Copies of this chain bind each other. A is one copy, B any other.
Amino acid sequence: MPTSENGSPPVYREIAEELRGQIRSGRYADGDRLPGENTLMEHHGVARATARQALSVLINEGLAVAVRGSGIYVRQFRPLRRHGARRLSKDLWGNGRAIWQTDSDTRGYEVEGLVVDEVVPAEHVLRSLGLDPGNPAVRRSRRYLVEGRPVQSAVSYLSPLLWAGREDSPAAQRIRAPDSGPGGIYARLAELGHAPAHFTEEIRVRMPTPEEAEELALSPGTPVLEVARTALTSDHRPVEFNEITMDGSAYVLQYDFDA
């Protein structure tokens, strides 16, 4: 931590630390308005620049959000709990439920802008699907909203080799249609003889690109979670690869496992 000349932390850091403590203790609850520059100036006897710097620290840490023309507020969106294993249980998609309906939250997801097309995917996608370079894949892209707020975008890839010779089967047609039918893609894969039995999820975290910040309407100081999921059959053939980009402030990811 930078220190001022006398060796103690600079005043703006001390003010930020005090406000941080008050947010953590619940003195300022989610969605509450924090003291403004004028209040901090008066209360701490500091210049406007110092007060502003203190508030910037909290914004950059993602604890607070600036609302233009109104003030600085404690971040208010309660995180969604995403339960890694339970939500992908065969009991759910095998019985016609969509995966995103199983996230343990009473708030409903809304799916937006689902687009299905065919592309030659990037090398790491082909590798995850066990496909040679240059192979095409069906790509399904969409965005999920909760309470009108975009919380994640997801792009999944499936190889047309999975339904080769059966292009006109209802399951193969549904995979290439915006509405994949009851139980979604995994139920369709099961109908084609490729039921997912194992999943691998890889989690990375980073700051968003400008495009992602725009798509997910992220405030400054908000990292994204990247979840890369591969679905495998019981004989460990990869059948789907899904790249999910989440608003890092909107999620708690939970994984349960045995020793």
Chain A interface residues (CB < 8 Å from chain B): 1, 13, 16, 20, 57, 60-62, 79, 84-85, 88-90, 186, 195-211, 214, 221, 223, 225, 248-249, 251-259
CB atoms of B210 and A13 under 8 A apart: yes
What is the count of identical protomers in the complex? 2
CB atoms of B214 and A259 under 8 A apart: no
Q: How far is the CA of A16 from the CA of B221 in the complex (A)?
A: 19
Do most interface residues of chain A lie in helix, strand or loop, or is the interface mixed?
mixed
A205's partner among B90, B197, B225 (CB-CB below 8 A) is B225
Q: How far is the CA of A186 from the CA of B214 in the complex (A)?
A: 45
Given contacts A195-B259, A206-B248, A210-B13, contact A254 B201 (CB under 8 A): yes
List residues of chain B with CB within 8 A of the CB of A252.
202-204
Q: Which residue of B lies closest to A205 (CB)?
A: B248
Tell me, rounded to whole Å, the shortest Cβ–Cβ distance linking A216 to chain B.
13
